[in-house]
C-alpha cells in the first residue's frame, strides 16, 4: 500500500473520529437566513454554514428534512463545510416525484439540427440553450445511446427564462453550478477571477464545483444566470462577448433561395502579409539598448529573421494556394481572385477595405493572418455576409459572434478537451502534472486539470486516482523523479510550449526508464523543438496532438511535394511553432473552400456534413461553436513516438456514458476520494 494511500486512510479515519465527537456535542443554534433565490422556478432560502452548525440543526431550523437538503445540495449528506452555501426549499416536497407522462405536441415551430460526428445530446441541448429533457420530448424515440451522425433532430424554441439573481447584504450573487461548468467559465461569465470565487467559497478547497452546488459570486456584473457557460479560453481576457446573439440561432436566411448558376464566376480576396521591405539596419535597432542580455536577444532574433524572413513563409503559403487554384481552374471553375498585401499593419488593412468598395460583393475572404487584422476583416465580412477563412488564429472570441467565420486551427479549449479524455482513460496510472512557475498561465492549467478531473469522475474508478502536481524550476528538473511510482505505470503531463522546461523534464525522465515505466504527454509544439533528441521521445513513448502533422511517408504528401517541386523548384519547408506547414495549409485551405463553392455555391455552408473533399493533410471537421457563431476545425489527431522509432496515430477513447439511475447521493462527490499531491519543488 502506497504512502499516499496510507495517509489518506489515516485522514479519513481521523475525520470519522472527529465527526463522532462533534455529534456528541450540543449543536450550535442555527439562525434562519432572510436571503432567497429563485432557481428553476422554485424559491429557496440561501443558508451559509457557520462554525459548529450541523446538517441536522439546519434542517430543524428550516423545518425540512435532512434528505430534502441533501437532494438539493449534492454531497451534503457526506458532510457540510463552514462557508458553504446551501439551498433550502421554502416549500419542501415530502417525496421527490418524477413526471413520466408524455408531453402533448405543442404544434410550435422547430429548427432542424443535423447531428455531427462526436456530438452528444448534452452538447446539442447546450448549443440551443435547452434542457436535454426538452430535446428528448421533441424527438420521440431518441435517447442518449442511439444518437447517430446524420440524424435529424427537431429543436423547439427555448422557453423564456424567469430566474432572477438574489443578492445578500454582502453584495454576493448566488450561482447554481450546471453540468460541465468550471470555475474558469463561471468567473469569465461574471467578470471576476477564479481566485475571487475561491475566496468567497472556502469550502471548494483546491477542487472544482459540483453540478447542482450553490456558490457565491462577489461583485457580479450581469443580471442573468447563464444556462450553461461555454469554456472558451483566452489568455488576455476573461469576458464572454456581451451579446444576446450568442444564444440566438442564425440559419443564413439569405441562402434560402440561393440556387443560382453554380458555374458563375466566384470572387475571392486573399489577404496575405507579404510585407517585402528592406530590413532596418541592426545598429539602429540596438543603439539605445543598455541591457546586454536584451541586446543579445535582439541580435539573435535579427539573424534568424534575416536567414528566413517572415515574408518567405507567407510566400510558401501563397504558392500552395496557387497550386489549388490551378487544379480547380483545370476542373472548369471560374474565379476572380485578388491578392492584397496587408503587411503587418492595421492601417493597411483599413485602407484595403475602404479603397476597394467592390469587396462588399465578394464570396470569400482567405486571411488575414494577424489577429488584429482579422478583427477588422471579420467585422467587415459579417456586415456584408461574406465567408472568412482564418488559417492560424486559434482564439474563439471572434468565432463566438460571427456566423461567417471559419477557423482552421483548433482552439486551446478543444485541444484540452481531447487531451483530457486521453489522460482520464489512464486513471489507474500514477499521473504527474508538470508546469513551470509562470503564474500567467495558472488559469489555463486550472481549466485543463478540471477537464481531467471531470473525466476521472466519468470512469467512476474503484481505487483512488493518484494525481500529483509538480511546479518545476528549470534548475531542479531532477526532482521530478521523486513523483514517480515504481509500482504503477507513470503518465507525466507537460502541457508547455517552453522548450527549456520540456528539454529538462525529458532529459531527466529518459535516464529513469529502467527503474520506472514512463509515458509522457506533450503539446503540439514539441516536434518543433530543436534542442531535444528525438530518441528521448521514442524512449519515453511521447504522445502529442496536432491537426496538421506532416507524415512524409503518406502518398498524398509525397504527391503534393512532387507537384510543388515541379512548379517552384523547391519544397515548402517552413512551419509555424505549432508545426503547421505554410505551403500545405495554403493548398488545403484554398482547395477546401473554393471547391465547396464550385460544387454547392454559397449554400455549401449548409452542406458541411456531406462535403468530403480529398485533402492532402487530415480533413477538416468543422463544429459550430454557438448557434449564432462560426465554425471551428476540431479534428485533433494524437500521435505516439514508439520505441521502434516509428510515429503512429492513436485513437483517444471517448468518455464512458454515465448512468445516474439508482446512484446514491453520496456517490456524487466521488472526486473527494481522489488523492491529490501537490509537490512544489
pLDDT at 7 exceeding the cut of 70: no
pLDDT tens, position by position, 547-558: 998 888 889 999
The 3-state secondary structure of 190-233 reads HCCCHHHHHHHCHHHCCCCCCCCCEEEEECCCCCCCCCCCCCCC
Neighbours of 270 (CB within 10 A): 22
Which residue did the predictor score with more confidence, 232 or 302? Answer: 302
CA-closest candidate to residue 567, choices 241, 305, 208, 323:
323
Which residue did the predictor score with more confidence, 667 or 257? Answer: 257
pLDDT at 252 exceeding the cut of 90: no
Set of cell numbers at residue 465: 486516482
**Local confidence band at 258 (pLDDT 50, 70, 90 cut-offs):** low
Handedness of CA 587, 588, 589, 591 (dihedral sign): positive
pLDDT of residue 521: 97
pLDDT tens, position by position, 367-385: 898 888 898 999 999 999 9
As a dihedral over the C-alpha atoms of residue 479, residue 481, residue 483, residue 484, rounded to 10 degrees, the angle is 180
Displacement of CA 418 from its chain's centroid (Å): 9
Q: In 496-616, which ranges are E strands?
A: 518-521, 543-546
pLDDT of residue 197: 83
Contact (Cβ atoms closer than 8 angstroms) between residue 113 and residue 155 = yes
pLDDT tens, position by position, 180-198: 677 777 777 777 777 788 8
Neighbours of 415 (CB within 10 A): 22
pLDDT of residue 495: 93
Handedness of CA 82, 84, 87, 93 (dihedral sign): negative
CA-closest candidate to residue 130, choices 627, 628, 549:
627
pLDDT at 142 exceeding the cut of 70: yes
CA-closest candidate to residue 600, choices 609, 590, 591, 611:
611
CA-closest candidate to residue 390, choices 411, 414, 370, 412:
370
Cα–Cα distance, 133 to 115 (Å, whole number): 17
pLDDT of residue 344: 78
Mean pLDDT, the chain, rounded, equals 77
pLDDT of residue 372: 83
Set of cell numbers at residue 633: 476545425
Set of cell numbers at residue 410: 483548433
Set of cell numbers at residue 319: 504558392
pLDDT of residue 247: 43
Contact (Cβ atoms closer than 8 angstroms) between residue 548 and residue 585 = yes
* Stretch among 28-32, 56-60, 605-609 having the lowest mean pLDDT: 28-32
pLDDT of residue 458: 87
Q: Are strands 490-493 and 430-435 parallel, antiparallel or unpaired?
A: parallel
pLDDT of residue 614: 86
Question: What residues are paired with 155 via a beta bridge?
Answer: 111
* DSSP per-residue codes, 7-44: HHHHHHHHHHHHHHHHHTSPPPPPPPP--EEEETTEEE
The mean pLDDT of 298-305, rounded to a whole number, is 63
Contact (Cβ atoms closer than 8 angstroms) between residue 214 and residue 175 = yes
Cα–Cα distance, 498 to 473 (Å, whole number): 12
387-411: burial string, b at 16+ Cβ within 10 Å, e else: bbbbbbbbbbbbbbbbbbbbbbbbb
pLDDT at 545 exceeding the cut of 90: yes
Cα–Cα distance, 563 to 623 (Å, whole number): 32
Cα–Cα distance, 472 to 502 (Å, whole number): 11
Cα–Cα distance, 485 to 478 (Å, whole number): 15
Handedness of CA 270, 274, 275, 276 (dihedral sign): negative
pLDDT of residue 370: 85
Which residue did the predictor score with more confidence, 200 or 409? Answer: 409
pLDDT tens, position by position, 266-292: 999 999 887 655 556 666 667 777 777
pLDDT at 346 exceeding the cut of 50: yes
As a dihedral over the C-alpha atoms of residue 205, residue 206, residue 211, residue 214, rounded to 10 degrees, the angle is 30
- 3-state DSSP call for residue 580? coil
The mean pLDDT of 619-626, rounded to a whole number, is 92
pLDDT tens, position by position, 302-312: 665 555 556 67
pLDDT of residue 660: 46
The mean pLDDT of 63-81, rounded to a whole number, is 79
Which residue did the predictor score with more confidence, 623 or 309? Answer: 623
pLDDT tens, position by position, 76-107: 766 788 888 888 887 644 333 333 333 344 44
Which residue pairs, CB below 8 angstroms and at least 24 apart, start in 388-391? 388/364, 389/364, 389/365, 389/589, 389/593, 391/317, 391/366, 391/367, 391/580, 391/585, 391/586, 391/589
pLDDT of residue 18: 35
pLDDT of residue 292: 73
pLDDT at 163 exceeding the cut of 50: no
pLDDT of residue 441: 77
pLDDT at 160 exceeding the cut of 70: no
**Local confidence band at 35 (pLDDT 50, 70, 90 cut-offs):** confident
Which residue did the predictor score with more confidence, 358 or 249? Answer: 358
Question: Does the model's pTM come out above 0.75?
Answer: no
Q: Which residue segments constitute the domains of the chain, with CATH numbers given? A: 3-95+162-229 (no CATH), 110-156 (3.10.350.10), 269-278+310-410+555-635 (3.40.50.2300), 413-546+651-680 (3.40.50)
**Local confidence band at 131 (pLDDT 50, 70, 90 cut-offs):** low
pLDDT of residue 40: 61
Q: Are strands 430-435 and 675-680 parallel, antiparallel or unpaired?
A: unpaired
Which residue did the predictor score with more confidence, 90 or 481? Answer: 481
Cα–Cα distance, 609 to 148 (Å, whole number): 13
Cα–Cα distance, 564 to 556 (Å, whole number): 12
Set of cell numbers at residue 464: 483512488
- 3-state DSSP call for residue 176? strand
Axis crossing angle, helix 582-600 with helix 310-330, rounded to the nearest 10: 30
pLDDT tens, position by position, 422-469: 999 999 999 999 988 776 678 889 889 999 998 998 888 888 899 999
Contact (Cβ atoms closer than 8 angstroms) between residue 678 and residue 432 = no
pLDDT of residue 678: 45
pLDDT of residue 165: 45
Cα–Cα distance, 452 to 446 (Å, whole number): 10
Amino acid at each position: 500500500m502506497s504512502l499516499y494511500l496510507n495517509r489518506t486512510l489515516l485522514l479519513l479515519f481521523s475525520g470519522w473520529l472527529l465527526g463522532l465527537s462533534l455529534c456528541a456535542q450540543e449543536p450550535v443554534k442555527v439562525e434562519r437566513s432572510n436571503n432567497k433565490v429563485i432557481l428553476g422556478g422554485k424559491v429557496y432560502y440561501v443558508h451559509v454554514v457557520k462554525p459548529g452548525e450541523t446538517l441536522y440543526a439546519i434542517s430543524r431550523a428550516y423545518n425540512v428534512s435532512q434528505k430534502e437538503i441533501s437532494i438539493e445540495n449534492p454531497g451534503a449528506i457526506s458532510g457540510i463545510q463552514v462557508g458553504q452555501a446551501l439551498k433550502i426549499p421554502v416549500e419542501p416536497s415530502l417525496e421527490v416525484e418524477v413526471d413520466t407522462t408524455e408531453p402533448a405536441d405543442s404544434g410550435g415551430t422547430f429548427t432542424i439540427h443535423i447531428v455531427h460526428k462526436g456530438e452528444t445530446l448534452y452538447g446539442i441541448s447546450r448549443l440551443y440553450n435547452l434542457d436535454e429533457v426538452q430535446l428528448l420530448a421533441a424527438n420521440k424515440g431518441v435517447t442518449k445511446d442511439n444518437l447517430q451522425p446524420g440524424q435529424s433532430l427537431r429543436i423547439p424554441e427555448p422557453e423564456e427564462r424567469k430566474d432572477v439573481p438574489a443578492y445578500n447584504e454582502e453584495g454576493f450573487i448566488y450561482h447554481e453550478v450546471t453540468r460541465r461548468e468550471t470555475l474558469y467559465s463561471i468567473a469569465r461569465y461574471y467578470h471576476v477571477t477564479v481566485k475571487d470565487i475561491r475566496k468567497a467559497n472556502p469550502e471548494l478547497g483546491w477542487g472544482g464545483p459540483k453540478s447542482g452546488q450553490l456558490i457565491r459570486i462577489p461583485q457580479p456584473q450581469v443580471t442573468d444566470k447563464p444556462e450553461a457557460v461555454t469554456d472558451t479560453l483566452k489568455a488576455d481576457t476573461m469576458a464572454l462577448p456581451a451579446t444576446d446573439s450568442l444564444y440566438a440561432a442564425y440559419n443564413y436566411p439569405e441562402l434560402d433561395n440561393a440556387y443560382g448558376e453554380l458555374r458563375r464566376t466566384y470572387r475571392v480576396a486573399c489577404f496575405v502579409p507579404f510585407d517585402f521591405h528592406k530590413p532596418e539596419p541592426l545598429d539602429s535597432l540596438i543603439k539605445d539598448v543598455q541591457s546586454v542580455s536584451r541586446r543579445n536577444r535582439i541580435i539573435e532574433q535579427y539573424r534568424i529573421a534575416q536567414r528566413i524572413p517572415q515574408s518567405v513563409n507567407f510566400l510558401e503559403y501563397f504558392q500552395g494556394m496557387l497550386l489549388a487554384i490551378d487544379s480547380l481552374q483545370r476542373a472548369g471553375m471560374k474565379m476572380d481572385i485578388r491578392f492584397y498585401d496587408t503587411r503587418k499593419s492595421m492601417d493597411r488593412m483599413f485602407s484595403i477595405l475602404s479603397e476597394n468598395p467592390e469587396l462588399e460583393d465578394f464570396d470569400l475572404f482567405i486571411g488575414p493572418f494577424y489577429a488584429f487584422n482579422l478583427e477588422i476583416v471579420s467585422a467587415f465580412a459579417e456586415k456584408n455576409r461574406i465567408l472568412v477563412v482564418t488559417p492560424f488564429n486559434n482564439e474563439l472570441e471572434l468565432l463566438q459572434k460571427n456566423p461567417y467565420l471559419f477557423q482552421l486551427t483548433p482552439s486551446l479549449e478543444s485541444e484540452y478537451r481531447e487531451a483530457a479524455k486521453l489522460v482520464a482513460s489512464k486513471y489507474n496510472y500514477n499521473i504527474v502534472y508538470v508546469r513551470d512557475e509562470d503564474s500567467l498561465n495558472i488559469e489555463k492549467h486550472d481549466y485543463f486539470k478540471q477537464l481531467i478531473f471531470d473525466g476521472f469522475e466519468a470512469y467512476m474508478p474503484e481505487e483512488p486516482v493518484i494525481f500529483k502536481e509538480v511546479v518545476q524550476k528549470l534548475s531542479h528538473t531532477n526532482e521530478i523523479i521523486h513523483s514517480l511510482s515504481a509500482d504503477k505505470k507513470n503518465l507525466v503531463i507537460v502541457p508547455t510550449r517552453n522548450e527549456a522546461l520540456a528539454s529538462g523534464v525529458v532529459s531527466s525522465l529518459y535516464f529513469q526508464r529502467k527503474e520506472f515505466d514512463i509515458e509522457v504527454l506533450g503539446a503540439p509544439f514539441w516536434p518543433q523543438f530543436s534542442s531535444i533528441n528525438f530518441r528521448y521521445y521514442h524512449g519515453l513513448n511521447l504522445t502529442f496532438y496536432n491537426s496538421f502533422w506532416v507524415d512524409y511517408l503518406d502518398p498524398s504528401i509525397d504527391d503534393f511535394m512532387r507537384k510543388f517541386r515541379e512548379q517552384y523548384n523547391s519544397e515548402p519547408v517552413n512551419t509555424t511553432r505549432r508545426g503547421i506547414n505554410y505551403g500545405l495549409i495554403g493548398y488545403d485551405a484554398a482547395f477546401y473552400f473554393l471547391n465547396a463553392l464550385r460544387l454547392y455555391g454559397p449554400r455549401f455552408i449548409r452542406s458541411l456534413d456531406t462535403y468530403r473533399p480529398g485533402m492532402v493533410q487530415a480533413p477538416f471537421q468543422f463544429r459550430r461553436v454557438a448557434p449564432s457563431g462560426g465554425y471551428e476545425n476540431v479534428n485533433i489527431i494524437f500521435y505516439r513516438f514508439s520505441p521502434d522509432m516509428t510515429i503512429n496515430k492513436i485513437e483517444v477513447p471517448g468518455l464512458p456514458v454515465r448512468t445516474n439511475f439508482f446512484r446514491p447521493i453520496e456517490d456524487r462527490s466521488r472526486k473527494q476520494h481522489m488523492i491529490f499531491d501537490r509537490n512544489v519543488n
